[in-house]
Structure 1
Amino acid sequence: MEGLLGHRKAGRWGNTQENAFVLLALDRYFQTYEKTTPDFLARAWLGDRYAGEHAFRGRTTERQHVEVPMAALPGGPGGNDLVLAKEGPGRLYYRIGLRYAPTSLRLDPADHGFTVERAYEGADDPADVRREADGAWRVRAGARVRVRLTLVAPERRYHVALVDPLSAGLEPLNPALALTGTLPDETDTDVTEVGAPGLGGPRGAGSWWWWTRPWFEHQNLRDERVEAFTSLLWEGVYTYAYVARATTPGAFVVPPPRAEEMYAPETFGRGSTDRVVIE
């Protein structure tokens, strides 16, 4: 189901034939898994504490949202079980999410569906950027820096956002602006093959043609972060790179780069916190 819906573009599939067959597949899914009309009561408990209930009668897109404050969650080792129960016929779908702010600025990498790494290097002279034994990056003031992100997707992902927070001392250089000037040609941003109905090509017989483009569909170079987006990301290893200038001397803590499925944020990954010294 997720795969079929994830391949839509602007709310529809590639052509009328695809629309028809996908709708037939969705109907078969519905007749198999959603045949029973919902008529049940759902309840939730956090440990021995009652968290709420909601009755679902008939077919509807209605959602019931319950928020539990962090103060109600147990601290320290151990914890309480979250228990969901259903009484009555029909299928219950649920999502459990957690919004939080870390207490420490020094974050380790996390892999919950993506692996993300970040590295800095001199765009014009390798000596402009070096990494110290303690992991800190030292950058020459005024130098142009290439920021290289590596993204690993172990399986197909949908509506992916890759976000890299900028060091406060770096300013991204947008090649689309005339004032930026000429940037180094090599950015190591991967390209991917794309197929569409058309003329037969080297991929074999059939009315398909192929071309290459960057793996992302859109990017933003903002004052405080750089973003890349794609609606479909096949499993594999991808790189994304951009160039920034070290404009402000100082020592800066840089939040980790992060990738996530925008409509399923529980599928995410992040790199580690970095320390950048510009002098």
Structure 2
Amino acid sequence: MTQYGENEAGAELVGDVPFKLLRSITQSRGNRDHWENTQENIFCMNSLIEYSRSYENVKPDMTVVVAMDDKLIGQDAFSDLRDDAATFTHLITADDPGAVRTVTISREGDGRLYYATRMSYASLDENAERHNAGIDIRKEYSVERDGKWVLLEGGESNINRGELVRVDIYVST
């Protein structure tokens, strides 16, 4: 696919499939510095080399700017294939819940840009409601005191250092 994607007609047909395959190869390795066996090591390394020759043959020399709704979140410059990844963070403010936001990632310069956007959040206690949509999950915390398990109620968090804590998770379908 990498060879076919090198010409204009092939590139349109192939699209981003080579990158998705590359991502699959690298993620299958996980945090290890090798794949499962010698054969996988050879095939995967050859695939990575072929991909690199086709898609990463231009040395990076770029500036990347990340904005949310035209407000700058961060920017970084890359001048080598071994440059560390850049991470930009936007902390949720009181104006954010319910708002529609647009993240813009722009690049000026040469080289291939790889990026991912992620969102994580935690509901505020006053906004957290339990909803039963077929599966109900709840948890209880207990602490061992005087040989007995004492259930911690509500917002109680009076746990002393060294005490044994038990978390019971209940799943109901």
Q: TM-score, normalised by structure 1?
A: 0.38
In the other structure, the counterpart of 1:28 is: 50
How far apart are the structure 2 equivalents of 1:96 and 1:73?
20
Closer, same or farther in 2 for the Cα pair 1:93/1:101, shift >3 Å? Answer: same
Provide the alpha-carbon RMSD of the alignment: 3.4
Higher strand share: 1
What number of residue pairs does the alignment pair up? 126
- TM-score under structure 2 normalisation? 0.58
Q: Choose which of 82, 85, 93 in structure 1 pairs with 2:106.
A: 85
**Residue 56 to residue 72, structure 1, CA distance change in 2 (3 Å):** farther
Q: How does 1:1-279 map to 2 (within 5 A)?
A: 1-8=22-29, 10-71=32-93, 74-76=96-98, 78-102=99-123, 103-107=127-131, 167-168=139-140, 223-224=166-167
Q: Per-residue deviation at 1:42?
A: 0.4
Larger helix fraction of residues: 2
Structure 1 stretches of 5 or more lacking a match? 110-116, 119-135, 137-164, 171-221, 227-253, 258-273
> Do 1:166 and 1:224's aligned partners in 2 also have CA atoms closer than 8 Å?
no
Offset from partner CA, 1:218-275 (integer Å, 9 cap, x none)? xxxx94268xxxxxxxxxxxxxxxxxxxxxxxxxxx6xx7xxxxxxxxxxxxxxxx69
Give every structure 1 segment of 4 or more consecutive aligned residues whose post-TM-superposition deviation is greater than 3 Å: 6-11, 72-76
Is the Cα–Cα contact under 8 Å of residues 140 and 168 in structure 2 kept in the other structure?
A: no
Letter in 1 for 2:128: S
What is the identity, as a one-letter code, of the residue corresponding to 1:104? A
Identical aligned pairs, as a percentage? Answer: 24
- Which whole-Å CA distance do the structure 1 matches of 2:141 and 2:97 have between them? 37
What is the SS of the residue equivalent to 1:224?
strand
- Whether the aligned pair in 2 keeps the contact of 1:41 and 1:54 (CA below 8 Å) is yes
